Amino acid sequence: MAGEISFFELGVADPERARTFYARLFGWTFEPGTTEGGGYAIRTPGSRGGVHGGDPGAGPYVFFRVDDMRTAVALVRALGGTVAEDADADGDEDAVARFGRFRLCHDDQGSPFGLHQPPDGF
């Protein structure tokens, strides 16, 4: 179903410190991720997520599920929002097969959010 929260991402300066902090705080489990600068896939009881390094002071990114990324991107733009073109690993087919496609966006008032087209079985 489109529109549900499907993924979250934590941007941090040091992903190892974040892993330690959130594992102790919430009991989350972490698996090595595929992002440059280190990172982890996060398993929680309710949602899938990730953490990536090299992003000091960033807030959490919330991604909403879409069935078709191209259609959703076109609609964001038609509604007056903006879309970053380089938000995922489209060129890395292994990462796309594992995690899906992502785009960072801003709505027509400048509020950030993300789109996520998960891979099959996600």
51, 12 Cβ separation under 8 angstroms: yes
Q: How many CB atoms lie within 10 A of CB 65?
A: 18
- State residue 75's pLDDT score: 93
Provide the residue ranges of all domains of the chain, joining segments of one domain with +.
5-117
**Residue 87: predicted pLDDT:** 53
Q: Provide the CATH topology of domain 5-117.
A: 2,3-Dihydroxybiphenyl 1,2-Dioxygenase; domain 1 (3.10.180)
User: What is the predicted pLDDT for the residue at 71?
Assistant: 93
User: Which pLDDT score is estimated for 81?
Assistant: 92
Length of the chain: 122
**What pLDDT score was predicted for residue 34?**
63
Give the pLDDT score at 68.
Answer: 92
Can you point out the beta strands (E) in 1-122?
5-11, 29-32, 39-43, 48-52, 60-65, 82-83, 101-106, 112-117
Global pTM reads 0.75
Which string of b and e fits 80-99 if b means at least 16 CB within 10 Å? ebebeeebbbeeeeebbeeb
Walking along the chain (122 residues) 10 residues at a time, the average pLDDT comes out as 84 89 91 74 87 82 91 94 72 78 89 89 74
DSSP 7: E
Q: What local confidence, expressed as pLDDT, does residue 45 receive? A: 83
